[in-house]
Amino acid sequence: MPFDTRVKAALDQPRTGWRAYLPAADTLNFVLTNHVPRALLTYAMGWFSRVRSPGLTRISVALWQRWSDLDLSEAAPGPYRSLRDVFTRALRPGARPFDDDPDVLCSPCDAIVGACGPVLGTQAWQAKGLTYGLEELMGPRAAARYTDGHFVTLRLTATMYHRFHAPADMHVHHVHYISGDAFNVNPAAVRRIPRLFCRNERAVVEATLRGAGHDIALVPVAAILVASIRLHFVDVTLHLRWRGAHDIPCDAHVARGEELGWFEHGSTILMFVPRGWTLATGIEPGRVIRAGQALWRRASTSGALQDSSTDV
């Protein structure tokens, strides 16, 4: 069964019997993960995931697979000595081919598409009825580049491949790390917590496309049990205990598909592009996408700019 079909089947599976009387899974998850000591649980999960015990890892993975859609069939061969090794697993060579069309920006990660569409001035949609400001999300200097631009929300579930890649050939020139909370970023939380992405820990990765010269920004947003973002080109892991510089100049030339870093569990990546790009055909909320598939297309090759927002 294709990857996106498996994921959607797992997400859409109806609840029968006694499970039908339980709260919806995402609502229950919201209650359990947003009314608890989030930082403490995140530290605890970080500690547990690093315990190096092949036996404990096998048991943990077996239980995880029993209650989720975790699929390791595309993963590179182990050994997996800790849960962290599973969370940050690489894939077999060729598992994620990247579209090589120069007029395409690829998805940087495996994800479920959330709210997406045009930025309204400096406001982007979080969910139906909720917006957030780009200046609060990424700071005024970076935000100015995407006024009236376009955005897409990419949600990585806990069982997905957690590494993310360059959507095109580009020059990464700045990272702005912003400390924050560790709220869950599942759909229930996104619909209920105003300005959620602006409240959580995040890193604003600023880059310029080679050749075209267009600016793009990737904003990995941490969440409960995650709060660890690894970026190879600054050689640090950003997490709740990070006390280093928050503005990190860098000079990294990366090729399309090259690995940029990873989350240590699963979270969200927000991607912003200026005017001149439009969402690729079929990109809409709920779509399951893989790293390397077309996400944006240069507007001059695909008709007029998209002019209406799409939210969830």
Which residues have a Cβ under 8 Å from the Cβ of 175 and sit 6 or more positions away? 203, 204, 205, 206, 231, 234, 247, 248, 250
* Gap between the Cα atoms of 128 and 259, Å rounded: 33
Amino acid at position 11, single letter: L
Enzyme catalytic residues: 110, 165, 267
Here the tokens at position 74 are 């595309």
Cα radius of gyration rounded to whole Å, the chain: 19
For residue 246, how many C-alpha atoms fall within 13 Å in the half-sphere facing its CB? 10
How far is residue 186 from each of residues 41, 123, 147, 163, 172, measured CA to CA in Å?
Answer: 17, 21, 27, 19, 29
Here the tokens at position 104 are 């395409």
Q: Which residue has the tokens 């944006």?
A: 296
Amino acid at position 98, single letter: F
Among 209, 212, 262, 208, CA closest to 233:
262
* Gap between the Cα atoms of 169 and 172, Å rounded: 10
Q: φ and ψ at 166, to 5 degrees?
A: -70, 130
**Strands across the sheet containing 104-106:** 104-106, 294-298, 277-279
